[in-house]
Structure 1
Amino acid sequence: MPKHTAPVDEPNASLAPLVIVGVLPPIEGGEDNLLPKDAWLNPLRVEFELWSDHSTRPGAFDRVQLIWDGDEAKPIDEKQFDGPYTEEDLADLWLEVPASRLSEGGHTIFYKVWSWNQSPIPRVTEPVNVTIDKSPPVLAGDRKMAFPEAVVPPSKITAQYLTANSDQVLATLPDYAVKKVGDVISWYWEEFPNSQLLVDSLTLDPGNVGQPLHLPLKGDMLRERGNGLRYATCRVRDRVGHEVTTLHVLLDVNILPPPLRKRPSVKEATGAVLDPLFYGVSGVTVVIPRQDDEDLGLKREVFWRGYGELGSHHALEPNPANAREYPIPPAAIVPNIGAGSYLPFLSLDIQVLA
């Protein structure tokens, strides 16, 4: 039979640190032993390893006590183990904090071992912290993201705005109580305010937890998701698992070029063929058909792209007598003369006969 020795009368001697079951993994700058959402509805289990100099004979008892918030006079839980230790005993090396004691805030926990030989001094572990957060974040103000005044209705997000602002729009998250390391900020941009179409997310760290949070809407994303009315929302999910979503902000986007136009035609051409009758004499006339967005007051211009600078022309203004007709001077026709020559004109090939 192994020889018994008296236990060492020093705190922490031969005692492994306790293990709190079910807490979130540690992160830099985060709260210690943080319980996930709703974990406080069940008892908190604490496990420990078998200590050295444990009892090895029947009738010699070791007693383990779990101390919550430093109240050593009233252990939160305890067990007694009779030597020698069996596999069943080793599986029973755990204690619990009742759910009724898992109140919000910070707590301390440690365990102590009273040895089989009735030593008046127990061995104890160092206290560790336990954090319980039952409160979801609370958004301040109107609970909406703030946008630059230049893009708030009746103004729009325009291509000019993106060009002047590093190809992005910066939204500012409303402040909330309380920002903590490990919180995840996710923001959304979509046609309906359902906070499903994610733009990006950000996890708070010690470097940004105390700063105003500016959330970028990049130009590439805005262009990909198109023109029109869009809803902007943001969701805050704290490390515990509570979530809160901002109220939506409705913005208007007008950054993409207009849709494909109805093709123009050359008045003097027969289909796509331009007869020599019109070479260098009176020029030609480009006719623009009525467009779907014509009533929006958009200015129209015509680009006659021929061979070289002399064979091209930029018609800025229409014929004063007919707003659909743009004159192309004869000087821009002559350089394009040649057998089999084709003049690419706004996706319409005009053949110029010799």
Structure 2
Amino acid sequence: MPMDLTHNDGVLEPPLAPAMLDDITDGAPGLLPVAALSQPLRIEVPQWPISSPGPDMPETLSLYWGGELVDAKTWYAAINPDELFIDVPTDSLLKEGEFQVTYRVLGYNGVEIGSKPLTLTIDRTAPVLGGDRGRLEFPDLGSQPVTDKFLKDNGEVLRGQVPVYQTFMPGDTIVYYWDDEPLDNTQVGEVTLTSQDAGNPVIIEYDGKMIRERGDGGRYAQYLVRDRAGNSSPVSVPKAVTVDAKPIPRVLPRPEVPLATGSQEQVTLKLVDVDEPVEIRIPGTAVIHPGEPFTVEWAPGLFGEQLLQGVEGVSSYRVAERHVVALSGKTVPLRYTVDGSDGPWWSDVRRVVIEPLPRSSMPIPQLSGTTGTTFSLKQQTRDPAITLAPWKLISQDQWVRIEIRGVSAEGASDLQVMRNHAVTEGELTSGIGATGDATVPLAFLSSLLLGQNFTIEVMVSFDAGRTWPALPNFEPLEITLLA
């Protein structure tokens, strides 16, 4: 029968249900585990105040479930606290929803008092998986295999997205599996959702260490959803994944210089053979993963350095001639670097010896007013000019020195006609002295001994004056001085 709501209701403390779960934010109040619903549900009642039942003045406890009387107990003597409970029969636990549980006490003095309500929730409905029978999606992975690089690039996790499912509630738990065979259901993790997850994609993370330990090959990922009450969805349809996560050794062999001679760490590049930008090749065995930036480094840290940004799928690169000739006579380090997700990597170094241009390949300076190999002072009316034709691999990084060496009555006599002259853009095609800026004073030539030879010597620094050759690197011009 329905309870009478007219007598001192809401005075006593609410009843207790030991089986109910603790409440969580935005969760169902007083949720009962489905495991507790297969047997009568015990409801405990706190001892009410001023209790003194006797043979002629009994006290009666009545329990109500959703306003309906469940059962009652009567005492004719002092109440044992262990007796302050009433079991709700399983027939009353079949329906889902929220239920108000209250009790009433008819005291020894004939006064009836009601309790505050306890709200309990029964949920027997299992979550319903989303589309494609809940099959997981791996947005970061797509159709590619799970590789060592993929895991390193993604923080050592494989993220799976759970399709939106029905009856999401805070406290739902995603239990997920990773198997060698479909539906072996080897659990590898679980995640419990909160109210903050409502309306957002549900992401589960497969640990990279676990994936590596379980080995390469075909693998299957699936999950189930279990709500707080203990109702579980079916296991989702497995998602097939290929794992190839065994680390690939980072092999970065030395870059190759096809024009150079030699095959060991040190090779020789002859400048006389250089007629165009010098090709550098990255070996086909180099392990550079897709998407990894890399750079070819010619002479890193030296004058003449050139850094060439790598292009995915391209193995051939070109170093400009000026960057090659600038290192004439030196040994050049050559390598490539890879900016991998697992840190920077450097290739083995190729050492390239740059063999200077032979003097025989360089132009000989010329002196105006010269006849054959003689120079007659009496035939000159102005200071003669020195000219030098453009030479192989000339560039604006180069500096020029021109000196005259002869013999006077006092002994050796030298004159510096041009000192540390930086090659200009115009001189790249016209050569040195075409503008008349390299002349020899007749007064100096007149101070030399007649019948003796004087020499015009040219030296070029290929690295903007940082280093100079020990001897002239152009063939000298020897002239006999006549009256």
TM-score bin (small chain): 0.5 to 0.7
Contact 2:333 2:351 in 1 (8 A): yes
Amino acid at match of 1:55: S
Map 1:241-256 → 2, pairs under 5 A: 241-244=230-233, 245-250=235-240
Amino acid at match of 2:265: A
1:66 aligns with 63
Q: Cα deviations across residues 40-75 of structure 1 (Å, max 9, x unaligned)?
A: 112211111211221154553211121223223xxx
CA distance in 2, matches of 1:172, 1:149: 7
Contact kept? 1:180, 1:238, Cα under 8 Å: yes
1:137 counterpart SS class: coil
Asked if residue 126 in structure 1 is aligned to residue 116 in structure 2, the reply is: yes
- Counterpart for residue 139 of structure 1: 129
Answer yes or no: is 1:303 the counterpart of 2:296: yes
Which residue of 68, 78, 85 maps to 2:72? 78
Which residue does the alignment assign to 1:349?
349
- 1:172-321 alignment to 2 at 5 Å? 173-185=162-174, 194=185, 196-198=187-189, 201=191, 203-205=193-195, 209=198, 211=199, 213-215=200-202, 233-244=222-233, 245-250=235-240, 260-261=250-251, 263-264=253-254, 266=256, 268-275=261-268, 278-282=269-273, 290-291=284-285, 303-307=296-300, 308=302, 310-312=304-306, 314=308
Match of 1:36 in 2: 33
Q: Cα offset for 1:202?
A: 5.5
Task: Report how many aligned residue pairs link the two structures.
Answer: 313
Q: Secondary structure at the match of 1:101?
A: helix
User: 2:228 is matched by which residue type in structure 1?
Assistant: R
Change (3 A) 1:311 1:32: closer
C-alpha distance in 2 between matches for 1:131 and 1:231: 36
Indicate conservation of the 8 Å contact 2:34/2:229, yes or no. yes
Contact 1:340–1:353 at 8 Å: present in 2 too?
yes
- Which stretch shows the higher mean deviation, 98-107 or 339-348? 339-348
Cα distance in 2 for residues equivalent to 1:191 and 1:259: 26
| Inter-CA distance 122–324: structure 2 relative to 1 (3 Å threshold) | closer
- 8 Å CA contact 1:145–1:171 kept in 2: the answer is no
Q: Does 1:19 align with 2:11?
A: no
Distance (whole Å) between structure 2 residues aligned to residue 77 and residue 309 of structure 1: 98
Greater RCO (Cα-Cα under 8 Å, separation 6 or more): 1
Q: Do the aligned residues in 2 keep the contact of 1:233 with 1:246 (CA within 8 Å)? A: yes
Cα distance in 1 for partners of 2:210, 2:330 equals 44
Q: Tell me if the contact between 1:338 and 1:352 (Cα under 8 Å) persists in the aligned partners.
A: no
- The residue that corresponds to 1:101 in the other structure is 92
- Displacement after TM superposition at 1:77 (Å): 2.6
Does the 8 Å contact 1:264/1:287 carry over to 2? no
CA contact (8 A) 1:336 1:352 kept: no
The residue type paired with residue 17 of structure 1 is P
Distance 2:353 2:263 in 1: 11
Deviation at 1:352, TM superposition (A): 4.5
Q: Tell me the alpha carbon deviations over residues 325-344 of structure 1, each in whole angstroms, 9 at most, x when there is no partner.
A: 87766544444567676444
SS at match of 1:348: coil
- Share of identical aligned residues, percent? 23
State the distance in 1 between where 2:323 and 2:218 align.
43
Offset at residue 280 of structure 1 (A): 2.6
Aligned equivalents of 1:150 and 1:348: distance in 2?
A: 33
Secondary structure of residue in 1 paired with 2:134: coil
Corresponding letter in the other structure for 2:250? L
- 1:18 offset after TM fit, Å? 0.8
3-state SS of the aligned residue for 1:243?
Answer: coil
SS at match of 1:39: helix
Structure 2 unaligned regions, length at least 5 = 1-5, 148-156, 337-345, 355-483
Q: Tell me how far 1:187 sits from its aligned partner.
A: 6.5
Contact 1:49 1:93 in 2 (8 A): yes
Contact 1:302–1:314 (CA under 8 A) maintained in structure 2: yes
Q: 1:331 to 1:105 in 2, by over 3 A?
A: same
CA displacement at 1:316 relative to structure 2: 7.7
Distance 1:313 1:115, change over 3 A: closer
Deviation at 1:24, TM superposition (A): 0.7
- 76-85 vs 302-311, which deviates more? 302-311
Judge which range, 337-346 or 21-30, deviates more.
337-346
Question: Distance between the aligned counterparts of 1:279 and 1:224, measured in 2?
Answer: 55
The more displaced of 53-62 and 261-270 is 261-270
- Tell me by how many angstroms 1:239 deviates: 1.4
Provide, for residues 212-235 of structure 1, a one-character-per-residue CA deviation record: whole Å limited to 9, x for no partner.
Answer: x324589x9889979998765454
Distance 1:70 1:123, change over 3 A: same
Question: 1:218-267, CA deviations, whole angstroms, 9 ceiling, x for partnerless residues?
Answer: 9x98899799987654542211122334323346799xx98634514546
Question: Aligned with 1:179: secondary structure?
Answer: coil
TM-score scaled to structure 1, two decimals? 0.66
Counterpart contact for 2:175–2:187, Cα < 8 Å = no
